[in-house]
Amino acid sequence: MHFRIIDESLSFAVCLMNWPIGPYGTSMGALLLFTLPIHFFLTRDEKDRRVSLADLPKEIKEKGYWWHILLYLIMFFYKAMIDYHNEPMKARVGGFTHWIYAIEGDWTNHIQEFFLNDTLTDLLSGHYLFMYLFMIWFSPMYYILCRDEIMADKAALNYFVIYLLSVPLYLFFNVEVTSSYISNMDALLYHDSFTLAFFTDNDPMDNAIPSLHVGLPISLLIINRLHCRKLGIDFKDWRHKEFDYFVQFNVIIYLFSIQYLGIHWFVDIIPGIFLAIITSSFVHAVQPVVRARTENGWTSLLPDRSQALSSILVLLICSTWLAVGVIDGSGTNEDEANMRFGIDDVNLDTIEVHSLWDPVIIDVFNVGDNDVEVLLIQRDFVEEHTEKGIFYWDQFVSKGNLSIVEVNSSLTFTITPESLFDVNIVLVRLYNSGNIEDDSLGEVRIVSNYVDDELIFTGFLVSFPAFIITGIVIEGYFNRRF
């Protein structure tokens, strides 16, 4: 991520550091606090169709919502497992950020610079942290509280399916966030005293493609329209149209905020929409089958012969592409930078803990035209010295291991964590020798080698569900068309 290095008061950062609840706790608290008020507002014209909190356990039991709860529990652990695969696999799959940059260049940086404002940053950061979690939770909960089990099923499946579809891209097509690659692009959200620990613990920072912040709600919007078409009613007559407007409003905000905050590329939106189309088609078709499983048996959830053949074909094509074209492929080219930064910018890479016995070996290659500074340091020394993309370098640099890597040279760190809670980070910036120019650029390639790099094989396997679902959707499309 990039930071602007200046000497300013740390009062705002200190204030946030003293807030007793972190970003996740704050978002979850707000999520629970706002669920009923927003639900009441959206259903103000049909109070008689609401489910009261007292009747909610009965409603869950009668409508069989236990599997929705189980699905969300599975997703919690499944996502943690996918994130655990991400870093060890990167040494074998590399990254493709340079491809995306070649397509769109500095577009998002122009957006950030034009609109840059502290108040706007605060508002959009709060929205980004809160609303995505809220959308995941509130979508099925809204329908449950409205006594609409069909849409509750679809909303829960929407989250599950679109994440499954994103797994191959997250694991095998690493694309850094814009603030890691575009010079002078500030990491307004990620690197702040309030959010630094949260994001370095939970966000790999190279899962830019696809943007599920856009894909997930757009998928829900498509599902809503498919549902209305199946009912044979105009959307304007649908009882949940105000909830749909609520989702639309937040999609519009996300389309802007993910670029302004230094997170997503504009190109990231396109795969997100593509996955939304696949997800909505699958969820709309499979929900009746899932709802009728108790009458028809669990075998009814299995694909038929035509669907199975289509899924096998897609699985073979995509798996071959991953094995031949991605693993140890062009993304691992050591001459390509996976981080770029200009004057007064700093980039950050997190070193995860995967073993207390085997070291992590970090290689830093200077592939640019200027010398760079590389600082290995514990996150605790840095956390309180960040604010809205600003990095107070001089206040912590003495507590880390600082090195200078000259052009066409490399540096290797070896780290053996002392505990599971150790968090080491690597910071890089241009080395100011006194003669660098304003448009000087630093380019490095950071490769972390973990002991469990064999996770590439299980990463391969957990991508299969995405290929199977895609095959089923393709088969359904051709059956309907022909």
Mean pLDDT (whole number) for 399-428: 91
- Mean pLDDT of the chain, nearest integer: 89
pLDDT at 31: 87
Range picked from 78-92, 272-286, 421-435 for highest mean pLDDT: 272-286
Output 300 or 67, whichever has higher pLDDT: 67
Q: Evaluate if residue 475 carries a pLDDT over 80.
A: yes
Residue 293 confidence class, pLDDT cut points 50, 70, 90: confident
Residue 432 confidence class, pLDDT cut points 50, 70, 90: confident
Closest CA to 161 of 457, 468, 461: 468
pLDDT at 1: 46
Q: Where are the domains of the chain?
A: 23-299
Beta bridge mates, 374 = 403, 428
Q: Evaluate if residue 237 carries a pLDDT over 70.
A: yes
Mean pLDDT (whole number) for 218-223: 97
Q: Residue 232, exposed/middle/buried by CB under 10 A (0-12, 13-18, 19+)?
A: exposed
Q: Evaluate if residue 134 carries a pLDDT over 70.
A: yes
Mean pLDDT (whole number) for 446-471: 91
Q: Evaluate if residue 29 carries a pLDDT over 50.
A: yes
Q: Evaluate if residue 16 carries a pLDDT over 90.
A: no
pLDDT at 193: 80
Q: Evaluate if residue 17 carries a pLDDT over 90.
A: no
Contact assessment for residue 363 and residue 403, using Cβ atoms and an 8 Å cutoff = no
Output 323 or 391, whichever has higher pLDDT: 323
CA dist., res. 427 & res. 373, Å (int)? 8
pLDDT at 298: 79
Tokens 């970090």: give the residue.
Answer: 362
Contact assessment for residue 50 and residue 43, using Cβ atoms and an 8 Å cutoff = yes
Sheet holding 410-415, edge to edge: 339-341, 442-449, 360-366, 410-415
DSSP characters over 397-451? GGGSEEEEE-TT-EEEEEE--SSTT--EEEEEEE---S---TT--EEEEEEEE-T
Contact assessment for residue 426 and residue 277, using Cβ atoms and an 8 Å cutoff = no
pLDDT digits (tens, 9 = 90+) for 374-400: 999 999 999 888 887 778 899 999 999
Mean pLDDT (whole number) for 74-103: 93
pLDDT at 4: 42
Q: Evaluate if residue 441 carries a pLDDT over 80.
A: yes
Mean pLDDT (whole number) for 409-416: 93
pLDDT at 12: 41
pLDDT digits (tens, 9 = 90+) for 174-184: 999 999 999 88
pLDDT at 184: 86
CA dist., res. 226 & res. 242, Å (int)? 16
Residue 19 confidence class, pLDDT cut points 50, 70, 90: low
Mean pLDDT (whole number) for 240-244: 95
Mean pLDDT (whole number) for 313-333: 93
Percent share of the chain, pLDDT over 90: 68
Q: Evaluate if residue 247 carries a pLDDT over 60.
A: yes
147-151, 240-244, 289-293, 315-319 — which is least confidently predicted?
289-293
Enter the pTM of the model: 0.90
Q: Evaluate if residue 27 carries a pLDDT over 90.
A: no
DSSP 197: H
